[in-house]
Amino acid sequence: MTNLFEVFGDYRGFAESLFECAIVLGLFLGIVIHFWRDRIWKDRFKKIFKNRTARFSFYFLMLFSFIAILDSIALPIFEIRGEKKVWVENRSLLELIYNPELEETLSAPFSKTTFEARRATMLKKSHPLGTNLNGRDVLLLGLKGCRTALIIGGLTTIVVIPLGILFGVLAGYFGKKIDAIITYVFSTLESIPEILLLICLMKLMGQGLLQLSVALGITTWVGLCRVVRGETMKLRELPYVQAAKALGSGNLSIIRQHIIPNLMHIVLIASVLRFSGLVLSEAILSYLGIGVGPETGSWGAMIDQGRDDLARDPVVWWNISTAGIFLFSLILSANIFGDRVRDVLDPRLKGMKE
């Protein structure tokens, strides 16, 4: 990747971030178009969005995604020094659109003065949600946390789905020794406390978005694997699968044409419902200091940095409150939308609201 973008020079960071965003959007649109062409899935999507609450939750999730995209596109900042234009740093598009000035100390929401009386100088710019101890705008930090939360949820899902489908289908379809080995593996993983396993993995791999996504993927694929295994054991005994075997179809062909397509609604439901848990796990790990690095925006890190402010007099409440509101809003929207997806796609649920 480094050699590919050398031709962009100082704009290399912008080109890389734009390329990454294009890949993510392309994959998302490709998946949507693929399912939208199927008449059955098209009807299911219409049922999902017929519900007003689910539709509003989806719009809220899209707003978070739009903020994350703005924070992902990096633009170079230059300064004129003498007769030369010198590169200084890369700043995200979000920071360029909303660029509050750095203050010396804490200031309350919409306050025109700093927190400490001895520094009671007029602020150049009002901060809607105040500033933290380092003088950084709290609203900007909350917005930057959207990118971290969505990347963790998306990358971890990319890790979990292939592992869960692969091992779940192998265990459920072939059974016997293969089932025994896979069951032993995920039973062993489940016997280890998840938080302890995550701490060990993060200490081994180090801090970072990719490392945290891999660690969460290793510890959370077991749940999906169990569900896929049980459903596969049921599907392999159905008449059309037995008929395919009798006609001489190979195991790989049966799995690809008959087993996996009938598992996708379960995978989709599990992925949507698991998303909020992944976001919460990232916040907890960052709060404990073993999640993403301090330079990466995170709601968990905001809560960790703001907990000491609660002991001040008067109480500095806006740091923790902002992170809590953003975290609550994203998780609530994901849960409401996930519940609607489950109601529409799960054939076992009857009498659902249309």
Amino acid at 26: G
Q: Whole-angstrom Cα distance, residue 101 to residue 140? A: 11
Which two structure tokens, joined as six digits, stand for 195? Answer: 């938080």
Whole-number pLDDT of residue 89: 64
Residue 209, H or E segment: helix 209-235
Whole-number pLDDT of residue 35: 67
Query: Could you read off the pLDDT of 288-326 as tens digits, one per residue?
Result: 777 776 667 788 888 888 777 777 777 777 888 888 899
| Contact by Cβ (8 Å): 148, 282 | yes
Q: Whole-angstrom Cα distance, residue 97 to residue 26? A: 25
pTM: 0.79
Whole-number pLDDT of residue 7: 42
Query: Could you read off the pLDDT of 30-78 as tens digits, one per residue?
Result: 767 766 677 777 787 888 888 888 889 989 888 988 888 888 877 766 6
Answer with the residue of higher pLDDT: 146 or 92.
Answer: 146
| Contact by Cβ (8 Å): 181, 124 | no
Q: How confident is the model at residue 11 (pLDDT cuts 50, 70, 90)?
A: low
Residue 123, H or E segment: none
Query: Could you read off the pLDDT of 170-179 as tens digits, one per residue?
Result: 888 888 888 8
Which two structure tokens, joined as six digits, stand for 41? Answer: 């899935």
Query: Left (φ > 0), alpha (ψ -120 to 50) or beta: where does 206 sit?
Result: left
CATH code for the part of the protein at 145-345:
1.10.3720.10
Beta bridge partners of 113: 122
Answer with the residue of higher pLDDT: 351 or 184.
Answer: 184
Residue 291's SS3 state is coil
- Cα 143-149-154 angle, rounded to 5 deg: 135
Query: For 200, how many CA atoms within 13 A lie in the half-sphere containing its CB?
Result: 8
Whole-number pLDDT of residue 24: 63
Residue 76, H or E segment: strand 74-81
Domain boundaries, the chain: 6-93, 101-136, 145-345
Would you call the peptide bond into 162 cis, given omega within 30 degrees of 0 as the criterion? no
Whole-number pLDDT of residue 116: 47
Residue given tokens 């950084």 in the structure block: 136
